[in-house]
Structure 1
Amino acid sequence: MATIARKSSKRSQSLIDKTKSIFFSSRGFPIILTFTVLAILFVLFRMKTVELDYQVNFLNKEIDEVIVENKDLKARKAKLMSVDKLRAMANKHGLSQPKQNQIIVVP
C-alpha cells in the first residue's frame, strides 16, 4: 500500500517537474508569454468595442432627438408662415395690400 502511494506521489512530482521544466524552459516561456499578451490584448479590444458601442448608441439617441426637434420646428415655422397668420400680423401692425403701382416685377 505504501509503495503505491510513493509511486503515485513520485508520478505526480515528476509530472509537476516536467510541467515546470516546460513552462520555464527557453522554448516554453516565450510561448506562454505570447499567449498571455494575446489574451490581454483580446480583452482590451473587446472592452474598447463595448465602450464604442455605448457611445454609438448614445449618439444615435441624440440624433433621433434632434430629428424630432427639427420636425417640431418645421411645423412651428409652417404654422407661423401660414397665410392667415401673416394677414393677422399685417392687420395688427397696420399694414395693407400694396397698390398696383407699388408692385415691381423683377425679371
Structure 2
Amino acid sequence: MAKQINIGDFLQRFEILIAGIWFLTVYFKTTFYFYSFVIGLAQVLNIKDNRPIVLPLGMIQVVYSLVVYPNVAYMTEFDTKAWISYALAIGLLYPLLILSVASIRKSMIKS
C-alpha cells in the first residue's frame, strides 16, 4: 500500500518510512512490556532493586520467543487455530479474575 503513494511525483517510496515507524513502535511496545514485567515481578517477589533480575529475565525472554514461534509457518497455524482461546483467557478471564479478587479483598478490609 505504501508503494502506491505518490505526491506530486517527488514524494515517493514511503514504504521505508512506514517500515521505520513500525520498527520503532514494536521496539517501544516490547520495551514497555518488558519493563512492566520486571517491575511487576520485583513487586510480587518483594525485591527492592529490580536491576539484578533484568539480565536473567531478558535472556529468558529471548529463549521464550524462539520456543513460542520457531518459524513463520508455525506462527500462522497457531494464530489461525488457537489464538482466540488464548486471547480470551488472557484478555478477558484473567482481568476479570483480578478484578473479582480485588473486590473481595476490598470487602474483606471494610468488614
Q: TM-score, normalised by structure 2?
A: 0.32
Q: TM-score, normalised by structure 1?
A: 0.33
